[in-house]
């Protein structure tokens, strides 16, 4: 899936690279699956700013996406592939044979007019959802559940996929997009295939205004602030941070460990791989 480039008629267009929306087939979203979506501007219920760099942006409506895939034994026909302003992946509109319509995360290689199904008897092909124990090792999967009937939480972003590396009667070992290998209940559900829009990671906005349309405001670096405003701030001239990097509230950043010791430690077989710097 290629990116779209433009003639440099303006400075911002010269370096802009955006997804090729010609692969989308739906013009307007399904009205019955839309909900209002209010914005907080990064403020909590006391009006205090708890998240930096949020605010503004274009008005949106939320698309109800079926992460549960609990409609088993009923086949559905793929109607459209659509843009969703609330996520990086495309979404697909399904029309079930009993008349119900639902959105799902759109996987790669799912053609318009194809039939998809959820359940333990479904075929192993893109778009079908089933328990992990029914999926062969080595197949890319997405929309994976952490626990039974909790709904898909893992591998939902554009271009991501998890892979089954080992299977047992009591546990299924899955390699997550982060590189972590983790044990799952064999009855947890997942959807076959890689998530659509893999070229999202290569998108270049080309101008600051596009970030503002997405609801992102300018951010100031911590080292450029006063000591009273940020742990990295203060000092004369360009001062070195002089401590492990942290967020404005003191949470370790840039590779610092933030995960607390939980029950999940016993199901983690291999920790996620560290990214190499430089």
Summarize pLDDT for 64-87 with one digit per residue, the tens. 999 999 999 899 999 999 999 999
Q: Phi and psi dihedrals of 12, rounded to 5?
A: -70, -30
**What is the pLDDT averaged over residues 186-193?**
96
The values of phi and psi at residue 231, to 5°, are -60, -25
Task: Please report where in the chains the tokens 């044979």 appear, as a residue.
Answer: 97
How far CA 195 is from CA of 71, 146, 226, 244, 262, in Å, comes to: 20, 18, 43, 35, 29
| pLDDT exceeds 70 at position 209 | yes
Torsion of CA 8, 13, 14, 17, to 10 degrees: -130
pLDDT of residue 255: 81
Average pLDDT of the chain?
Answer: 93
Nearest 5°: the CA angle 51, 56, 58 is 125
Percent of the chain that is helix, strand, coil (3-state, to 5): 10, 25, 60
Residue 278: predicted pLDDT: 47
- Residue 17, token pair as written in the block: 């690279």
User: Domain boundaries in the chain?
Assistant: 3-41+55-200+263-270
Domain 3-41+55-200+263-270 -> CATH class: mainly beta
Pull the structure tokens for residue 30: 């399904």
Per-residue model confidence (pLDDT) at position 1: 60
Which pLDDT does position 264 carry in this prediction?
Answer: 76
Phi-psi map region of 47: left, alpha, beta (phi>0 left; psi -120 to 50 alpha): left
Q: For 118, phi and psi rounded to 5 degrees?
A: -120, 145
- In this predicted structure, the answer to whether residue 107 has a pLDDT above a threshold of 60 is yes
Instruction: Say what the alpha-carbon torsion angle 164, 267, 70, 196 is, to the nearest 10 degrees.
Output: -50
| pLDDT at position 256 | 82
Q: Is the pLDDT of residue 160 over 90?
A: yes
């Amino acid at each position: 899936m290629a990116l779209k480039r433009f003639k440099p008629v303006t400075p911002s267009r010269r370096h802009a690279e955006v997804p090729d929306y010609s692969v989308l087939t739906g013009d307007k979203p399904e009205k019955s699956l839309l909900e209002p979506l209010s914005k907080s501007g990064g403020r909590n219920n006391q009006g205090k700013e708890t998240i930096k760099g949020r605010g503004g942006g274009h008005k949106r409506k939320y698309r109800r996406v079926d992460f549960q895939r609990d409609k088993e034994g009923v086949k559905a026909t793929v109607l459209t592939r659509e843009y969703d302003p609330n996520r990086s992946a495309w979404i697909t509109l399904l029309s079930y044979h009993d008349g119900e319509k639902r959105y799902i995360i759109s996987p790669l290689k799912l053609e318009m007019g194809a039939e998809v199904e959820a359940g333990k008897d479904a075929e192993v092909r893109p778009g079908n959802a089933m328990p992990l124990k029914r999926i062969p090792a080595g197949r890319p999967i997405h929309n994976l559940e952490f626990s039974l009937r909790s709904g898909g939480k893992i591998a939902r972003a554009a271009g991501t996929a998890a892979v089954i590396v080992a299977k047992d009667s009591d546990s299924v070992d899955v390699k997550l997009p982060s590189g972590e290998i983790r044990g799952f209940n064999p009855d947890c559900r997942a959807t076959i295939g890689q998530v659509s829009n893999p070229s999202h990671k290569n998108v270049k906005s080309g101008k600051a205004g596009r970030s503002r349309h997405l609801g992102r405001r300018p951010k100031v670096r911590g080292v450029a602030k006063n000591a009273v405003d940020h742990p990295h701030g203060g000092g004369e001239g360009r001062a070195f941070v002089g401590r492990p990097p942290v967020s404005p509230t003191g949470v370790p950043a840039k590779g610092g460990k933030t995960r607390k010791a939980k029950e999940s430690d016993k199901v983690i077989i291999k920790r996620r791989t560290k990214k190499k710097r430089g």
